[in-house]
Amino acid sequence: MAEQSGSSLKPLEEYRDYLHLLARLQVDPRLRSKLDPSDVVQQTLLTAVEKKDQFRGGTDAEMAGWLRQILANTLAQEGRAFATEKRNLAREQSLAAIEKSSAILEAFLADKQSSPDERLLRNERVLRLAGALAQLPEDQRLALEMKHLQGFTIKEIAQVMKRSEPSITGLLRRGLATLRRLLGEDL
């Protein structure tokens, strides 16, 4: 993926895991056979490259916000593709939903302090968390995201994943242990 010319911003590719995490949080696990979050992220990054001259920010945080907007628009477009003659608004994704997922993700890592340096550090930690989650086995990643980022109960996760509750508890325990190892002191 292309880098933004003439700036010290991260290359767009470095936001892929972050965007993928946000997309997974927005796409109902039961719809994943029809709407692949990886495809949504790829389209988001392609749109960002095509419209890079429209980006007016100067920081990585502003870039992340701009990319979240593009992701929300892409999810909304994809959601409409699955709607019947009467629009199914439950399937459409909004910027508010993306922002909520991003806020939950940031709160997961947030410190009480909010100086510019600490916000920059938190942004880096969010990107690292997204990258670490992407390295987990899919079942562990899905269980962790559903539990800690979407607020599902263990019983609900078990129903969606068609597994027993003790199995889900084991996935969560192993996934958290792996995340702690990958992130070290950041978790």
Residues 122 and 154 in one domain: no
- For the chain, what percent of residues have pLDDT higher than 70? 68
Question: Could you give the CA distance from residue 157 to residue 168 in angstroms, rounded to a whole number?
Answer: 7
Residues 29 and 102 in one domain: yes
Residues 175 and 124 in one domain: no
Flag whether pLDDT at 43 surpasses 50.
yes
Flag whether pLDDT at 1 surpasses 60.
no
Q: What does the radius of gyration of the chain's CA atoms come to, in whole angstroms? A: 17
HSE (side-chain half, CA atoms, 13 Å) at 74:
27
Among 93, 108, 134, identify where a domain stops. Answer: 134
Instruction: Quote the number of domains for the chain.
Output: 2
- Residue closest to 74 by CA, chosen among 98, 57, 90, 54: 98
- In the block, tokens 């958290």 appear at 176
Residues 35 and 54 in one domain: yes
pLDDT confidence of residue 165:
95
Residues 37 and 55 in one domain: yes
Question: Could you give the CA distance from residue 148 to residue 21 in angstroms, rounded to a whole number?
Answer: 13
Among 101, 116, 134, identify where a domain stops. Answer: 134
Residues 130 and 167 in one domain: no
Residues 78 and 167 in one domain: no
Residues 40 and 89 in one domain: yes
Q: Is the pTM of this model over 0.85?
A: no
Among 111, 134, 157, identify where a domain stops. Answer: 134
Q: What is the CATH number of the domain that holds 146?
A: 1.10.10
Residues 88 and 52 in one domain: yes
Residues 57 and 101 in one domain: yes
- Please tell me the least confidently modeled range out of 7-16, 119-128, 168-177: 119-128
Residues 130 and 150 in one domain: no
Question: Could you give the CA distance from residue 71 to residue 45 in angstroms, rounded to a whole number?
Answer: 9
Q: 75: pLDDT confidence band, cut at 50, 70 and 90?
A: confident
Residues 95 and 165 in one domain: no
- Domain boundaries, position 79: 1-134
- Residue closest to 15 by CA, chosen among 84, 79, 82, 67: 67
Instruction: Summarize the confidence of residues 154-165 as an average pLDDT.
Output: 93
Burial of 138 (0-12, 13-18, 19+ CB in 10 A): exposed
